């Protein structure tokens, strides 16, 4: 039975503040900043405040989900409104979206938010966006249509992080969903936390720890997390299959067939769900779509919106719902569908598609000198700290840095370009091609691209890990590695440097004691770094 706990008027700014603080605390999110909107603000809200009620909502499989509902105030009998459903982020309770849900309801939406199963007071166990989670979305829609003035023909879905991942997967399952806004989420969970066949240690440990603190991990999640962090290579096929079942990229045909309008938003420095996998997923979508990338880390681009403060991510999210649920001609569908902001904060750039982001040409930096490394020692070149380093870059322009001349050459391979006579505006995905000869069958290395100033201090532009298993000792093999996508402006007079070492605290490394790696550039297959540039 549905129980109404209480009714509240959300006219106090404290309510929005509490919602955002709890959301940030549960995931360990860093402070957020307001950003200038690249598009017109939505129309003024109705003068009548919307109503908030808390409910027990039946989920799939007989569990109860803790939720809340905003409805437009004073709705006449018989009138219906577009419905927006917001599943919560990982480890965050149902009040996460109160500020944004109220804004949507004041603008004429019914908004239902609920604590995802397995967390806080919602029933069930944590399924990590498995089939029970997507079934919950359909169950919540069914409940909303039966218990609120929601319009069955105009249903939207959205969320941040975990809520974004669930939303994308649910759009493959339920054709009633007409619009999706997925912020700081994943489309490919394998590429998110196992890119380059390397375990993203800090990201997985953070998510696992938050899950145990705020919820009830199911036996399958406990098994997968133990195998993943325990480097159970014999269980790799099972882990990959588990991840595929929870990746919207594997359901692209169903998503396209259902035709929901999908808006994706993420940060360049997202240390939990890096941007590459979102860009690849975006390119495969065939319906109405939009992709936005900004500076920051996980969920920081939309963070101030949870406080109810001006925020361009949420402004565009509302415009997206207005266009595809209300039919408003607000221009969001006629703007360039790919909107990015460089890490130097020089404003937004619009592109026709992701491939056009680096359409200014590619600069190839040759890696002609052979380099020999001893493994197992951190050289000082690192990707930073999860949920911290990219926030420092976002707010104070202080990405992870290293003194390139002082890096120990026994443990770090270094190649540098000449000083650039003009600015280099890097846009898109930097790619490394090289040849590796190992002394052991297993190993890990991490490639870093640095912007090196006159004093030799390198600021991290991008990086990515790479792990191999079962390679013949002493036999060379080729490697093609995509670094995490970015938008970074290198000043005139600076150099670019590629650094490779074998240890980074962000990742689990697989270098046996005493192992060595040689990086070479055969005449028939030269090694290089390919750097995509913005069109001038």
CA–CA distance, 386 with 310 (Å, rounded to integer):
26
CA–CA distance, 123 with 102 (Å, rounded to integer):
25
Average pLDDT of the segment spanning 156-183: 98
**Per-residue pLDDT, 5:** 37
**Per-residue pLDDT, 58:** 98
User: pLDDT tens across 471-502, in order?
Assistant: 999 999 999 999 999 999 999 999 999 999 99
Residue percentage of the chain with pLDDT more than 70: 91
- pLDDT of 224 > 60? The answer is yes
- pLDDT of 226 > 70? The answer is yes
Cβ neighbours of residue 377 under 8 Å, at least 6 residues apart? Answer: 408, 410, 411, 501, 502, 503
7 pLDDT band, cuts 50/70/90, is very low
CA–CA distance, 338 with 356 (Å, rounded to integer):
9
Please give the DSSP secondary-structure letter assigned to residue 63. -
* Beta bridge partners of residue 462, listed in sequence order: 449
b/e 333-370 (16+ beta carbons within 10 angstroms → b): eebebbbbbbbeeeebbebeebebbbbbeebebebeee
**Per-residue pLDDT, 44:** 36
What does the H/E/C string look like for 87-125?
A: ECCCCCCHHHHHHHHHHHHHCCCEEEEECCCCECCCCCC
**Per-residue pLDDT, 48:** 57
**Per-residue pLDDT, 10:** 34
DSSP states of 364-416:
EEE--S-EEEE-SS--S-----TTTHHHHHHHHS---EEEGGGS-TTT-EEEE
pTM of the model: 0.90
Handedness of CA 290, 295, 300, 305 (dihedral sign): negative
Q: Which helix (H) or strand (E) holds 164?
A: helix 162-173
Q: Which helix (H) or strand (E) holds 434?
A: strand 431-438
Residue 522's Cβ-count burial label (10 Å; 0-12, 13-18, 19+) is exposed
Average pLDDT of the segment spanning 405-410: 98
User: pLDDT tens across 92-115, in order?
Assistant: 999 999 999 999 999 999 999 999
What angle, 0 to 180 degrees and rounded to 10, lies between the N-to-C axes of helices 201-214 and 13-27? Answer: 120
**Per-residue pLDDT, 234:** 97
What stretches of 184-332 adopt beta strand conformation (E)?
261-267, 289-294
Least confident of 17-21, 134-138, 194-198, 374-378: 17-21
Cβ neighbours of residue 76 under 8 Å, at least 6 residues apart? Answer: none
CA–CA distance, 215 with 194 (Å, rounded to integer):
24
Average pLDDT of the segment spanning 234-261: 98
- The alpha carbon of residue 91 and the mean position of all alpha carbons in its chain are separated, in whole angstroms, by 16
Average pLDDT of the segment spanning 111-124: 98
- Which has the higher per-residue pLDDT, 286 or 4? 286
Average pLDDT of the segment spanning 200-205: 98
DSSP states of 436-480:
EEESSS-EEEEEEEEEE-TTSEEEEEEEEEEEE-SPPTT--EEEE
- pLDDT of 19 > 50? The answer is no
Cβ neighbours of residue 523 under 8 Å, at least 6 residues apart? Answer: none
CA–CA distance, 269 with 459 (Å, rounded to integer):
14
Overall size of the chain counted in residues? 536
User: pLDDT tens across 28-64, in order?
Assistant: 333 333 333 343 333 333 345 789 999 999 999 999 9
Handedness of CA 253, 257, 258, 261 (dihedral sign): positive
- pLDDT of 508 > 70? The answer is yes
- The alpha carbon of residue 315 and the mean position of all alpha carbons in its chain are separated, in whole angstroms, by 19
- pLDDT of 1 > 80? The answer is no
Place of tokens 């480890």: 91
CA–CA distance, 345 with 274 (Å, rounded to integer):
19
345 pLDDT band, cuts 50/70/90, is confident
Residue 63's Cβ-count burial label (10 Å; 0-12, 13-18, 19+) is middle
What angle, 0 to 180 degrees and rounded to 10, lies between the N-to-C axes of helices 131-147 and 162-173? Answer: 80
Average pLDDT of the segment spanning 1-23: 34
* Beta bridge partners of residue 466, listed in sequence order: 445
293 pLDDT band, cuts 50/70/90, is very high
Residue percentage of the chain with pLDDT more than 90: 88
**Per-residue pLDDT, 535:** 84
């Amino acid at each position: 039975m549905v129980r109404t706990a209480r009714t509240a008027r959300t006219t106090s700014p404290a309510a929005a503040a509490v919602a955002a603080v709890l959301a940030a605390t549960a995931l360990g999110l860093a402070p957020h900043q307001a950003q200038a909107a690249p598009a017109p603000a939505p129309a003024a809200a109705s003068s009548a405040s919307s109503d908030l009620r808390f409910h027990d909502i039946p989920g799939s499989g007989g569990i109860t989900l803790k939720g809340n509902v905003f409805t437009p105030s004073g709705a006449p009998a018989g009138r219906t409104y577009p419905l927006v459903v917001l599943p919560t982020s990982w480890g965050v309770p149902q009040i996460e979206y109160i500020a944004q849900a109220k804004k949507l309801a004041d603008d004429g939406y019914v908004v239902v938010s609920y604590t995802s199963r397995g967390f806080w007071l919602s029933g069930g166990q944590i399924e990590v966006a498995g089939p029970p989670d997507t079934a919950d979305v359909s169950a919540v829609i069914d409940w909303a249509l039966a218990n609120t003035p929601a319009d069955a023909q105009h249903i939207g879905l959205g969320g941040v992080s975990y809520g974004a991942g669930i939303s994308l997967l649910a759009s493959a399952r339920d054709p009633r969903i007409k619009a999706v806004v997925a912020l700081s989420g994943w489309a490919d969970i394998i590429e998110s936390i196992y890119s380059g066949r390397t375990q993203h240690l800090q990201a997985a440990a953070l998510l696992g720890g938050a899950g145990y603190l705020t919820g009830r991990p199911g036996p399958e999640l406990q098994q997968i997390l133990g195998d993943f962090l325990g480097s159970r290579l014999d269980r790799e096929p099972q882990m990959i299959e588990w991840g595929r079942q929870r990746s919207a990229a594997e359901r692209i045909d169903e998503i396209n067939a259902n035709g929901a309008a999908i808006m994706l938003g993420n940060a360049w420095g997202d240390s939990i769900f890096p941007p590459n996998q979102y860009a690849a997923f975006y390119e495969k979508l065939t319906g109405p779509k939009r992709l936005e990338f900004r500076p920051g880390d996980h969920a920081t681009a939309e963070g101030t919106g949870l406080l109810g403060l001006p925020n361009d991510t949420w402004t565009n999210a509302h415009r997206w719902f207005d266009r595809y649920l209300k039919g408003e001609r607000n221009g969001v569908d006629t703007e360039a569908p790919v909107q990015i902001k460089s890490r130097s904060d020089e404003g937004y750039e619009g592109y026709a598609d992701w491939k056009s982001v680096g359409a200014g040409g590619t600069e190839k930096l040759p890696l002609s000198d052979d380099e020999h490394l001893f493994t197992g020692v951190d050289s000082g070149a690192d990707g930073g700290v999860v949920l911290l380093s990219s926030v420092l870059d976002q707010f104070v322009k202080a990405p992870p840095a290293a003194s390139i001349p002082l890096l120990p050459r026994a443990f770090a391979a270094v190649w540098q370009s000449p000083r650039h006579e003009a600015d280099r505006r890097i846009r898109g995905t930097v790619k490394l091609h090289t040849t590796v000869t190992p002394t052991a069958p297993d190993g890990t290395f991490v490639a870093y691209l640095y912007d090196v100033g006159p004093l030799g201090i390198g600021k991290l532009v991008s990086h990515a890990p790479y792990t191999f298993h079962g390679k013949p000792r002493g036999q060379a093999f080729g490697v093609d590695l995509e670094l995490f996508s970015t938008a970074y402006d290198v000043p005139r007079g600076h150099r670019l440097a590629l650094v490779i070492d074998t240890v980074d605290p962000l990742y689990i490394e697989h270098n046996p004691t005493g192992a060595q790696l040689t990086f070479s550039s055969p005449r028939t297959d030269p090694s290089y770094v390919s750097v995509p540039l913005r069109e001038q």
